[in-house]
Amino acid sequence: MHLALLEAEAAAARGDVPVGAVLVDSEGRVLSAAGNRVQADDDPTAHAEMLVLRAGAAALGQKLLDGCDLYVTLEPCPMCAAAISLARIRRLYFGAYDPKSGGEVVGGPSPRALPALPLKSVDGRLVVAKPFTGRVGVQQI
């Protein structure tokens, strides 16, 4: 998470929303790290999570990142939450909830906002349930 915070600081320094993300493999080795680059790259999809997912998939030479964990400084938005689910990330850790733009990870199931991500609360933690891959744990740290 410290590395993700450094990426968030770098994003802020270049005029982007200060969000950072780090993708690690099943052994905890860093595959990719990035901060938001929406302003820097004039790319509305250049959120930190999207950048590390793309770089991680390229590094591994595969589209699915099952077994990988993602650390993000802020609760992912709906776009990133969907991408995280599609990539089959094993666990998502985020530093702070985002009640304004969070991907409904906070509020639980929201069929209108995020139909592809069935969410439920398990022992006070929110879990993304994916029938074809088991469960992806989500917890705030």
Catalytic positions? 49
50 CB contacts (<8 Å, ≥6 apart)? Answer: 79, 80, 83
Q: Please state the closest distance from residue 50 (CB atom) to Zn ion, in A.
A: 7
Cβ-contact 119, 76 below 8 angstroms? no
Binding mask 30-49 for Zn ion (x = CB under 5 A): -----------------x--
| Comparison of 61 and 74: residue with beta carbon closer to Zn ion | 74
List the alpha helices (DSSP H) in the chain: 2-13, 38-41, 48-60, 78-86
Q: Please state the closest distance from residue 114 (CB atom) to Zn ion, in A.
A: 12
Structure tokens of 94? Answer: 């985020």
Piece of 34-42, 54-62, 70-78, 116-124 that binds Zn ion (CB under 5 A)? 70-78
The residue with tokens 């439920």 is 120
Query: What distance in Å separates the CA atoms of residue 16 and residue 68, rounded to the nearest whole number?
Result: 26
Q: Which of 80, 84, 114, 138 binds Zn ion (CB under 5 A)?
A: 80
Q: Which of 53, 77, 114, 128 binds Zn ion (CB under 5 A)?
A: 77
| Comparison of 68 and 94: residue with beta carbon closer to Zn ion | 94
